[in-house]
Structure 1
Amino acid sequence: MQATSIAEEKERLITLLVNFLQEIGLTIRFAAEEEPGFLPGIHIRNGGLSIDPERILYPGDILHEAGHLATLPHSIRCELDGKLPDTDTHRSAELMTLAWSYAAALHLKIPASVVFHEHGYKGGSQNLIDNFEQGRVIGLPMLQYYEMAYDEQNAKRLGVRPFPYMVSWICLK
């Protein structure tokens, strides 16, 4: 007999992720969502996330979607409802989101494969994990621009720990 069932593990992960996201200042609500979202069970509502735990297929998707919100400037984030903006800021935010999600997984002490699961990322999830583990951090230049995390050289200059440590989990610009 398994120590925990798949359903219990899913619930544990959702609770862990939601608690973290609320701690860093993102608005999270639980609601049944009838319409399909970009990812099952997760919708952007009023600058935060609306989560339908019954429809979520992969709990790590919560971190990825939250990363999109966290890496956008507040002035853009607070206006979002329904979907992400189609702007240059958002396109670079996709790369920041990958780095942010990886750092969040490490911070929460969950395997990177929870976020970068085999059913996402167009078959490139293991490649993303390998790159991060080998220090090839896509998205870090933009995290630096927004003063959220730093590479080794800039972290040393600023007297902070380098990525995957996050100076700020939310874009404050």
Structure 2
Amino acid sequence: MSDAPPFRSADPVTDRMATFLASIGIPVLAADLPDRCFVPGIRLDRGRLLVDEARMICPGDLLHEGGHVAVMAPAVRTGRAVDASNDMGDEIAAIAWSWAALTHLGLAPEVVFSPLGYKGAAPWLIETFRAGHAPGLPLLQWMGLTLDERSAAERGTLPFPHMQRWLREEPPEAAD
């Protein structure tokens, strides 16, 4: 897949999401994905998203799957081909990350939190984030991606959903 072309969509919202992901370091490549994917039409592959637009059901899945890539430790992100993590912490972090991304892009929450996904919990997730509660925020903060309100105020910066960085980095070496 190294020779796959960058993914481009005729749909402006889908293209905007793919362009954003590429701009933060998550390559989005066009691919023919005839085999079943965990998320229809999207496969995670060594830090990249392979996209078969004809098989994609919810274009907003691009941001959610991008969130999975973003919250992986770099060694994991680039070292394996996976469809999704079975780790609930990764899932919660990816949900919060995708909320931050859709907010950053000015998209309606329903673009990502489609009624077709999240096992029927999409309306609850939207309401929870709109109410100022952020499941996954402690994980994103631990990963060095964003700050809660108190920590942001102490540092004179903006809190979640503003992101300090979009991709997880390796933790700093422990002090001797």
TM-score normalised by length of structure 1: 0.89
Q: Deviations over 1:60-95 (max 9, x none)?
A: 011111100101110111112033344xxx431111
Unpaired runs of at least 5, structure 1: 1-8
Give 2:103's match in structure 1, choosing from 81, 103, 106: 106
Q: Is the 8 A contact 2:85 2:91 kept in 1?
A: no
Q: Is the 8 A contact 1:63 1:104 kept in 2?
A: yes
Answer yes or no: is 1:83 the counterpart of 2:83.
Answer: yes
Q: 1:10 to 1:129 in 2, by over 3 A?
A: farther
Partners of 1:93 and 1:85 in 2: CA distance: 7
Q: 1:10 to 1:136 in 2, by over 3 A?
A: farther
Deviation at 1:97, TM superposition (A): 0.7
Q: 1:61 to 1:10 in 2, by over 3 A?
A: farther
For 2:3, the equivalent position in structure 1 comes to: none
For 2:50, the equivalent position in structure 1 comes to: 50
For 1:158, the equivalent position in structure 2 comes to: 155
Unpaired runs of at least 5, structure 2: 1-8, 171-176
Q: Aligned residues, how many?
A: 162
Q: Is the 8 A contact 1:45 1:82 kept in 2?
A: yes
Identity %: 35
Runs (4+) of structure 1 exceeding 6 A deviation are none
Partners of 2:57 and 2:85 in 1: CA distance: 24
Q: What is the RMSD of the two structures over their aligned residues, measured on CA atoms?
A: 1.4
Partners of 1:113 and 1:85 in 2: CA distance: 23
Which secondary structure does the structure 1 equivalent of 2:152 belong to?
helix
* Residue type at the aligned position of 1:79: G
Partners of 1:159 and 1:75 in 2: CA distance: 31
For 1:5, the equivalent position in structure 2 comes to: none
* Residue type at the aligned position of 2:160: F
Alignment of 1:12-161 (within 5 A): 12-86=12-86, 90-161=87-158
* Residue type at the aligned position of 1:111: A
Which secondary structure does the structure 2 equivalent of 1:29 belong to?
strand
Q: Is the 8 A contact 2:147 2:159 kept in 1?
A: yes
